[in-house]
Structure 1
Amino acid sequence: MRKLVMFFAVCALVALPAFLATSTAAAQKARVAPLRLKSGAVVPNKENSISAAPMPEAESKMQGYYLVQFKGAVRDAWKQQLTDAGAEIIAYVPDLAFKVRMTGSQALSVAKLQNVTWVGSFLPAYKLDVNLKRGDSAAYTVRVEQGANVDAAIAAINATGAQVTDADEDMLRVAASGAQVDAIARVTAVAWIENYTLPEKHNEYGGGGIMGANIANANGYDGSSQIAAVADTGLGDGTPGGAHPDIPAARIVNIFNWAGKTDVCFTKIFDDGAVDADSAHGTHTSGSVLSDGGPSGEGKGVAPAARLVFQATENYAKINPLCVDAGEPTEGYFLTGLPANLQRLYAQAYKQGARVHSNSWGAAVDGDYNSNSAQTDTYAWKKKDLTITFSAGNSGVDANNDGIVDFGSLGAPATAKNVITVGASENDRQGHWECDSNLTYTSHDLYQTGQTCNSMGGQNVLGTAGSRWGFTRNPLKDDVTAGNQEQMAPFSSRGPVDDGRIKPDVVAPGTWILSASGNLYQEGYGDPKNPRVNDYAWDGWGMPLNEYYKYMGGTSMSNPLVAGAATVVRDYYQKAHALNASSALVKATLINSAIDLLDENNDGANDNRYPIPNNHEGWGRVNVADATDGTRQYVDETTGISTKNRRNYQYTLSGGQPFKVSLVWTDYPSTEIAARNLVNNLNLLVISPSGVKYKGNVFVNGWSKTGGKADAVNNVENVYIQSAEAGTWTVRVIGKNVPMGPQPFALVVKGP
């Protein structure tokens, strides 16, 4: 199911005016660029403009929403002319257009501006996600237009016969029929409507060695200058003193309980506070970020000296069947506390000092950029020093049975531009998969049925992708679930995002990850059963190592390893350069230092059949040691550039070695209606001493090549030269089209 979030701005039900077109000669000659909307491409012309029919006098005085398209890359002066004419800019719409609020008469005036080629009404059809359910009744997410009267919008929606069951600032949860959805779209204040999709944990049913965290920690980069936030199920017994022995109270800044509210989906919530009662998912992910490993060193996190802000979001609840797919449970433990407006979640952590925010959850939307994605990008734009990480999801499948995991299965908000989206590679503990031989009960793992730890020889049975996840075609079917760090986990969701963006950004180990276990309701350790469900807490994968550590898998487990890595990278910049690093710089550093996996198709050949960049691994597996070894130069540009501006940087190389350049920018948030989500388009151009030019993201066999087209989709651009020419290289950052600038950026260079 897809999660719909709609924002309502105007409250009355009105007929929307027709499209506007300019009558200037310049507009007639200008190249016509399509409007790339999710509802379908719109080609501006006279027939779909406002001048196609006379405008009634009442309409000319009424405020409404319009699309205004310019003749080319947007200049600041053109935007100023637009606002001077009385228009309020709401959002950028590709290509070369803005959604604005103004009266009909103002729209007619705007259509006559010299650089405007077309003006048209913002139609109700543009507000509807193409995947909307159209049954008798369903749950939807609705966003209200910014600046609109939310109470009036709610009244107008309820007047259609639909029911608004929850309002979180401009985000609404609505129960409606398919026919009522069309009426809701005609409410002027409504900006967007999508299916509600239940968010879920991304655990499936070690970072120290593989990612190089031990080396970074030994060099003094252990996160001690940083605070990381984790939004997850719960933490230990819900108190700082009872979190976990390896996460002492002295390193816990705060624990917040987000219980949530009853609405059309959650009909009853049993608030249990911040305890981790069911799966120990939140305790496990927190341990991967910052556990100190205790005396044994087991389950040590990537940033073992960082401090923690924890946001507990899981509770036992009853769910309306409208909000889940057929056959899914309607009672159990769910993430009830995640707010409809995610910006509140991020803001709470930020105010507590957190500058990394880890999220191992999401909604299965098959690559869609939805309202949660847009909210996340919005907060990242507001607070450019907050690095937000998200698990990619566990929806990897081989539907066509060709032995290769299919593309297009990303969850949301992992589809956001400004987060680090994390996929799962295989773990390799060098044969160490020990379980607790003192446990006498038989394993609850379906792939170890009827066996005790002793009967398995004291080692967990790993199983294959075929036995665990139902893959039926080799090389996936017989691929062991761990043991080769060059392989992807088959369950890991693949990119791209629907608009073509490369995702995930990076990967980290996500199978058989050993980390902190919860301290409640554990079987075999003297605990009682959970009275809510009359059962013990989940064992994780296989059987636990002991009462303090257990194995889990999923992109839920790979994500906190990267969140820990981001924390260590921030720690490095703080200690080595006295810099409060932007999220763009952290992301660029992790991408620039990532390692290309050699066996993405899991056939055991390690032949790099799918070199970077690709939508299995993105830009590779995170390498914390390399990211913090001090060999990179960087630019953390906070002022930014505008359309047609450029910045040049020069680097002198001795030659014969790789030269890697990464450009990342925290882009202005997109609107859900857009089919292409990049707003501010920067281009990376790298010029050799002899004048050879390399454009960003033009790759063959894992290295840059000449030619190709400039990237107009991604807000990550790389140029990797395998063997650089000796001499002075020029790295150029170009503001191709920056409609919502100026645009800050980060540049990371390896090679000089």
Structure 2
Amino acid sequence: MPKKTAACCLFAAIAAGVVAASAGESTDSAGRLDPGIGSRRPVSARAVGLADRGLIALHVYTRPGTRPANAISVYPLGDTDLSLVITTPDQAKIIAARPGVLWVEQAPEPTPRNDTVRLIAQTGTINPGPFDAAGLDGAGQIVGVLDTRLDWDHCAFDDPDHPIGPLHRKILAYNVPFAGVDAHGTHVCGILAGDSTMNTNLRGTATGARIVYNTIPAFDESPLLQRLELHASQGATIHNNSWGDDQSSTYGGLARAVDSFCWQHDENLVVFAVSNGSTLKTPENAKNALAVAATQDSPMQSKFCLGAAGPTADGRRKPDLVAPGCSVFSAYPFGGTCNTVFNSGTSMSAPVISGAAAIARQYFVDGWYPTGSPDPADAFTPSGALLKAVLVAGAADLTDEPGWPSDREGWGRVMLTGSLPLPGSGFSLIVDQAFNNTADALETGDARLIRFEVVDEAEPMRIVLAWHDAPGDFGAADPVVNDLDLSLETPGGAVYLGNHIDMLTGESTTGGTPDTRNNVEVVALPTPDAGVYTVRIDGAMISTGAQGFGLVITGGIATIPEPCGPADLTDPLGVLDLADVTAFVQAFAAQAPEADIVADGVFDLADIAAFVQAFAAGCP
């Protein structure tokens, strides 16, 4: 089309839109109009050209089929349509008042939508990501994806130099015969781990992570548990599932498969998108699944978008977290090898969480804990429960959503800078864990105590305990099997129990009874007093095996060294020296309890021999 003709058509559409918007429409646009309209600085040449003529580009979100007459282009997004409208700034309020219009905003540019999602997962904003700058991008981590057909030739995933397998830069395994491509699976994988130098829209949440892929299990194919186990055998420790059964909320085969897998393979974390309807379904109702709902993308990342509200049918808290999932740009397999499209749904938010989990896992396996800088000597393998606790500990309350935690946002929007300190962070992190059915795991009556000190009262403190419970019975009305209890004792002797939180203030309260239903428990103190605190984890009811856990403590905190043995009697703890010998001699002479090394109530040569033996053994 000649440029002059195209320009005439554009201005005709604009003029028609202005007239239509002004003719007989209500001006009641309350709650539908972005107050920032007109305040954006144009960046692209096209936006600058529009501004020079007194025009702006609007994104108008409507119910399907109720599109503005003056739309330049329309993009179906499932339960909504997005229309691009070019008009004058004063017409935005009139357009927002039209029937069927859900939201009107000035078209954001030039920030790519998927790139924005990646940054929000790190910092909660679209500011440059500190984890990117530190080299924490999920490198070395493998994520299993069950979804519709992934387009391996898309530039977000392609590798001209290597076939799919161990050397491929993105896809280690494609576990089904190739049979075409699909938009959903390609879009989800792009949000999770896409990476292309040709299009910044194609930078996923964890650009360094790699994928093992399979299709969603149909009723006549290998079941979910087998597919999760296959991906685990191929190296995956995080598993993304942007799908579910919207016809059941029962604790049935799918939910139980998730719980069984996580109980047996508790190095793994399984992420599920919740239903886009109003009621939680399955398998997001699994106890061990990390269930995810969706927020808007930038600049409305603190605004809830969609996802089923909790609790589960048996009263457990779900969803666990939220992440950007509406109007998210990512890979599109049709019309070219590097195309993008934006889409909305909890399907889009789940891979943001999975990507964030991959970055968190890299943080630990590359030795960034506890110093905030990489040291291979500090590397360890985190459990899936510990990763879940890390993501919950850093989550941000949605300011547009009443109450925290809530049945829609769970524990909030993922934000890695809230729980994983880097150099210059104003807070510290303490973690502890035990794997299921190991010597450190808890049985009924066992307790684990962790002492620490609050050194900065200005930093909010959050303590999160998570565990992967054993699977319940099929169809169980109450599928809880093993119960742990979290409590915190303050310097003043007050005791806070897990999940006793005032939703209006977001602060833990004293009193109440232990939570016997949820396998994520939280204590939150926005303004903790300075002093020594004690976290206690109790094995309240362990009916099957020995129960592992992941514990995370964040805030202005410091660890308290513990004695390395009975001979370590003086500061600095963890070091055996002459001061410890002197302390033992004095305690023995005074018949003080710390000199009764063999704990028989008698102070004799046996205690001296035990002290000498412990002193000679030294500290680890």
In the superposition, the TM-score normalised over structure 1's length comes to: 0.53
Pick from 292, 308, 316: which aligns with 1:493?
308
**Aligned residues of 2:472 and 2:479 also touching (Cα < 8 A):** yes
In the superposition, relative to structure 1, how do residues 307 and 343 fare at CA in structure 2: closer, same or farther (>3 Å)? same
**Aligned residues of 1:246 and 1:294 also touching (Cα < 8 A):** no
Pick from 246, 267, 271: which aligns with 1:389?
271
Residue 353 of structure 1, CA deviation: 0.6
Structure 2 residue aligned with 1:252: 170
> Do structure 1's residue 412 and structure 2's residue 307 form an aligned pair?
no
Distance across 1 between alignment mates of 2:360 and 2:172: 23
Pick from 191, 195, 219: which aligns with 2:134?
219
In the superposition, relative to structure 1, how do residues 593 and 339 fare at CA in structure 2: closer, same or farther (>3 Å)? farther
> Do structure 1's residue 566 and structure 2's residue 566 form an aligned pair?
no
- Residues 99-248 of structure 1: matches in 2 within 5 Å? 206-212=116-122, 214-236=129-151, 240=152, 242-248=153-159
Distance across 2 between alignment mates of 1:578 and 1:557: 31
**Aligned residues of 2:156 and 2:202 also touching (Cα < 8 A):** no
Distance across 1 between alignment mates of 2:333 and 2:158: 12
Structure 1 residue aligned with 2:417: 625
> Do structure 1's residue 549 and structure 2's residue 340 form an aligned pair?
yes
Structure 1 residue aligned with 2:192: 289
**Aligned residues of 1:253 and 1:352 also touching (Cα < 8 A):** no
* CA distances 1:594-637 after superposition (whole Å, capped 9, x unpaired): 0000112xxxxxxxx2x221110000000123333253110012
Pick from 677, 680, 683: which aligns with 2:482?
680
Distance across 2 between alignment mates of 1:501 and 1:427: 28
Distance across 1 between alignment mates of 2:277 and 2:477: 22
* CA distances 1:406-465 after superposition (whole Å, capped 9, x unpaired): xxx11211111111111111112xxxxxxxxxxxxxxxxxxxxxxxxxxxxxxxxxxxxx
* CA distances 1:246-275 after superposition (whole Å, capped 9, x unpaired): 5535223434355xxxxxxxxxxxxx8343
Secondary structure of 1:654's aligned partner: strand
Structure 2 residue aligned with 1:652: 453
Equivalent residue pairs, number:
411
**Aligned residues of 1:229 and 1:357 also touching (Cα < 8 A):** yes
Q: Match for 2:170: what amino acid?
A: I
In the superposition, relative to structure 1, how do residues 289 and 245 fare at CA in structure 2: closer, same or farther (>3 Å)? closer
Q: Match for 2:185: what amino acid?
A: G
In the superposition, relative to structure 1, how do residues 257 and 742 fare at CA in structure 2: closer, same or farther (>3 Å)? closer
Residue 578 of structure 1, CA deviation: 1.3
Residue 721 of structure 1, CA deviation: 0.8
Q: Match for 2:213: what amino acid?
A: F
Structure 1 residue aligned with 2:101: none
Residue 354 of structure 1, CA deviation: 0.8
Structure 2 residue aligned with 1:38: none
- Residues 230-629 of structure 1: matches in 2 within 5 Å? 230-236=145-151, 240=152, 242-248=153-159, 250-258=168-176, 273-277=178-182, 280-313=183-216, 336=218, 339=221, 341-365=223-247, 367-396=249-278, 409-428=279-298, 483-489=299-305, 491-519=306-334, 522=335, 548-575=339-366, 576=368, 577-600=378-401, 609=402, 611-629=403-421
Distance across 2 between alignment mates of 1:558 and 1:227: 19
Secondary structure of 1:289's aligned partner: helix
* CA distances 1:524-559 after superposition (whole Å, capped 9, x unpaired): x6xxxxxxxxxxxxxxxxxxxx95111011000000
% identical aligned pairs: 32
In the superposition, relative to structure 1, how do residues 203 and 557 fare at CA in structure 2: closer, same or farther (>3 Å)? farther
In the superposition, relative to structure 1, how do residues 412 and 673 fare at CA in structure 2: closer, same or farther (>3 Å)? closer
- Residues 39-78 of structure 1: matches in 2 within 5 Å? none
Rg larger for: 2
Residue 217 of structure 1, CA deviation: 2.0
* CA distances 1:633-688 after superposition (whole Å, capped 9, x unpaired): 10012331111111111011125232210000011111123211221111001000
**Aligned residues of 2:297 and 2:324 also touching (Cα < 8 A):** yes
**Aligned residues of 2:271 and 2:290 also touching (Cα < 8 A):** yes
Q: Give unmatched runs, 5+ long, in structure 1.
A: 1-201, 259-271, 314-334, 397-408, 429-482, 526-545, 601-608
Distance across 2 between alignment mates of 1:511 and 1:624: 20
Residue 293 of structure 1, CA deviation: 4.0
Residue 288 of structure 1, CA deviation: 0.7
Q: Give unmatched runs, 5+ long, in structure 2.
A: 1-76, 81-115, 124-128, 163-167, 369-377, 423-427, 558-620
Residue 387 of structure 1, CA deviation: 1.0
Structure 1 residue aligned with 2:610: none
Distance across 1 between alignment mates of 2:220 and 2:539: 37
* CA distances 1:57-116 after superposition (whole Å, capped 9, x unpaired): xxxxxxxxxxxxxxxxxxxxxxxxxxxxxxxxxxxxxxxxxxxxxxxxxxxxxxxxxxxx
Residue 338 of structure 1, CA deviation: 7.8
Distance across 2 between alignment mates of 1:562 and 1:203: 21
Which structure ranks higher in relative contact order (CA pairs < 8 Å, sequence separation ≥ 6)?
1
RMSD across aligned positions (CA): 2.1
Q: Match for 2:523: what amino acid?
A: V
Residue 371 of structure 1, CA deviation: 1.5
Q: Match for 2:292: what amino acid?
A: V
Residue 561 of structure 1, CA deviation: 0.7
* CA distances 1:554-594 after superposition (whole Å, capped 9, x unpaired): 00000011111111111111112412110000000000000
**Aligned residues of 2:324 and 2:349 also touching (Cα < 8 A):** yes
Distance across 1 between alignment mates of 2:231 and 2:521: 29
Residue 393 of structure 1, CA deviation: 1.2
Q: Match for 1:212: what amino acid?
A: Q
**Aligned residues of 1:646 and 1:734 also touching (Cα < 8 A):** yes
Residue 220 of structure 1, CA deviation: 1.6
Distance across 1 between alignment mates of 2:267 and 2:201: 31
Secondary structure of 2:135's aligned partner: coil
**Aligned residues of 1:378 and 1:669 also touching (Cα < 8 A):** yes
Distance across 2 between alignment mates of 1:230 and 1:243: 16
In the superposition, relative to structure 1, how do residues 254 and 654 fare at CA in structure 2: closer, same or farther (>3 Å)? closer
Structure 1 residue aligned with 2:11: none
**Aligned residues of 1:368 and 1:497 also touching (Cα < 8 A):** no
Q: Match for 2:476: what amino acid?
A: A
- Residues 82-101 of structure 1: matches in 2 within 5 Å? none
In the superposition, the TM-score normalised over structure 2's length comes to: 0.63
Secondary structure of 2:326's aligned partner: coil
Secondary structure of 1:494's aligned partner: coil
* CA distances 1:7-62 after superposition (whole Å, capped 9, x unpaired): xxxxxxxxxxxxxxxxxxxxxxxxxxxxxxxxxxxxxxxxxxxxxxxxxxxxxxxx
Query: In proportion to residue count, which structure has more helix?
Result: 2
My pick for the range that moved more, 639-648 or 585-594, is 639-648
Structure 2 residue aligned with 1:535: none
Structure 1 residue aligned with 2:4: none
